[in-house]
A and B are shown apart, each in its own frame.
Chain A
Amino acid sequence: MVLEIGNRYILRRFFSGLLAFLLSITLTFFLLRSLPGDYMTDLLLEIGRYAPPELVASFKHEVGLDLPLPEQYLLYLTGILKGNWGHSFEYGLPVFSLIREKLYWTLVLLLPSSLLSAGLGMGFGAYSGWKNGSKTDAFLLHSLVFVGAVPSYCWGFAGLFIFSFRLGLLPFGGYVSLPGTEPAGLFRHALLPVLTLTLCSVPGIYYLMRNSMLDTLGEDYILAARARGFSESRILFQHALPNSILPVLTMTSLHCAHMLAGSVFIETIFAWPGLGLLTYSALETHDLPLLQGIFLVDTLLIIIANLTADLLYPLIDPRIRSRIRGE
């Protein structure tokens, strides 16, 4: 099936994603260079105070700082592609491995909440659009506009306040990943952050889905299907739903990718040992290489989400399939 789509389409999508990633890399490169003073002034100041100048020079040589700028850029680029993302100022560890470890814990939060919010958002949105004008629709619309207007950190605070402080049902966060932590503990710790993340991204998806459903219901083929005496549930599942999900697809996948960035607030509030908390501590300690690494990961994830949606489209929509074939 995928082969049928045509390789040029995939290639072009892939290329545009690559371009964006390259741009991000270039940006981080120049930001690094333009740091007041030198490449790692912060670090070198510390070392430079005690270390003899030869050592500083040799260190600079090792990192490639004595090379002309274009060559430095090339070095940096190949380094990134090889997985050498620099070293964290604060931890002194390679950024790449640091991020890889934390990303795992972030994904533990992100995957369930992505699935949940996509499912709930689309489900509610479709139902609301289908029952447009009913009381349920009005209730869902108003309450979700409200939910969407409340920032994620406020929901986080509210969750903590109610469930952890007042009711004492759930822990305050601060999950520590010990080897062999029992799944129950993980679940108890992850529950609030996952719910908060979900709560914050449901309204956006809901609103899109509802509008898309409303648009679809105005289409002639829905009317025609009714005229043929099809049952309402058949019209919904066979005609309305597949067609209205289409335009929401890209946005939903992007939404889930954006949740990674949004998790900074949530993970900070719940002290979840993932990428978001890492971002927070990197911000506190001005750990630029680490921040840039996180930034690159975010970019990558969004590109991947974009690509996934782009690849899913032709599988579902025959119109796009034949447009691609026609190219």
Chain B
Amino acid sequence: MELIEIKSLKVTFPTEAGLVRSVDCVDLQLGAREKLGLIGETGSGKSVLAHATLRLLQPDALCEGEILYQGRNLLDCTPTELRRLRGRELALIPQNPSRALNPLQTVGKQLFETLRQAGYSKKEAVAKMPELLRSVGAIDPDSWAKAYPHECSGGMCERIVIALSLAFSPSLLLADEPTKGLDSLNRARIITLLGEVTENRALLFITHDLEAAALLCTRLALMYAGELVELGDKAAVFENPLHPYTRGLLFALPARGMQPIPGRSPPLTALPDGCRFHSRCPEAIARCRSQHPPLFDTGNGHFCRCWLYV
């Protein structure tokens, strides 16, 4: 059985400018120990998807569809049930790690609280702390524990945030742009670290960094303007990208010529008719303008939302 199954998930936010359709009919499955990269640009709905999975969205957000975790629909869970699942089963590595730590408490205190939350006794928590910090690459765990978040560098914060999410040993880790804002050296380290710590668990790796996703994940999912546009094995997506958007992203990589995709993604309050990418698509045909394409199965678990593959 799949570990987590997202079925036609829709997330909308009412705003003054109109309904924002952040996530639109997304279907995703993730098996135990599977590593999936969720790729998209800012505002494509990938972070919202992660937050929706943990039910962390603000109260006015409307979620439709199903998010099944081990067969249980998270959208129907009571707050208490959710609290038991959060952290313990599904852990989030939030964006902006330096802001995801309480600035008034030392790292050690926050780790301690989290370990206590995870069910350790006080003694066990104190004993477990250095071990946990070492596992995320701290050479001197004691000095890390004594530090306040503002005294930590970006890479250090990222590691601490990862340590916090590992305190429970969850079965699924949702990493929300963990390589954002890090220099290339730290980025590589964090990717390696994420690979190590998710050896025995599933990972949903949310990023706009195609290369990082390629290093870590076995499958890739691409999101554009709130919906999935392509989903497939890493090798298939990289060697045989189907969707023009995916091709655009790949050509925008430094190694492949660094050609940016022209135009910008449509506002989520006023999505165009037809394919959401058609105005930027070099291969658009008449049908793309009028008809919204479904997700086509092109075989071997490779899906694409494009009229070119009818």
Which residues of A are at the interface with B, using a C-beta cutoff of 8 A? 133, 219-221, 223-231, 234, 238-239, 242-243, 246, 316-319, 322
Contacts and interface: CB of A to CB of B under 8 A. Distances in A.
Contacts of B148: 318-319, 322
Contact of B103 (A227, A230, A243): A243
A223 B94 contact: yes
A220 B165 CA distance: 14
27 contacts: A133-B59, A219-B99, A220-B99, A220-B100, A221-B101, A223-B56, A224-B101, A226-B86, A227-B56, A227-B87, A227-B94, A228-B86, A228-B87, A228-B114, A228-B167, A229-B84, A229-B87, A229-B88, A229-B117, A230-B83, A230-B117, A234-B113, A238-B113, A242-B104, A317-B104, A318-B150, A319-B148
Given A220-B96, A221-B102, A317-B104, A227 B91 contact: yes
B136 interface: no
Could you tell me the dominant secondary structure of chain A's interface residues? helix
B54 A227 contact: yes
Contacts of B56: 223, 226-227
B100 A224 contact: yes
B102 A228 contact: no
Given A219-B99, A227-B87, A228-B168, 6 more contacts: A221-B100, A227-B56, A231-B83, A243-B102, A318-B104, A318-B148
A234 B113 CA distance: 10
B155 to A, nearest CB: 17
Q: Which 8 A-B pairs have the closest CB atoms?
A: A229-B87, A229-B86, A227-B92, A228-B87, A224-B100, A220-B99, A318-B148, A220-B100
Contacts of A318: 103-104, 106, 148, 150
B259 to A, nearest CB: 34
A322 B102 contact: no
A322 B88 contact: no
Given A133-B59, A318-B148, A319-B150, A229 B102 contact: no
B196 interface: no
A157 to B, nearest CB: 42
Given A227-B86, A227-B92, A238-B113, A316 B104 contact: yes
Contact of A220 (B86, B87, B94, B114): B94
A228 B119 CA distance: 12
A230 B87 CA distance: 9
Contacts of A133: 59
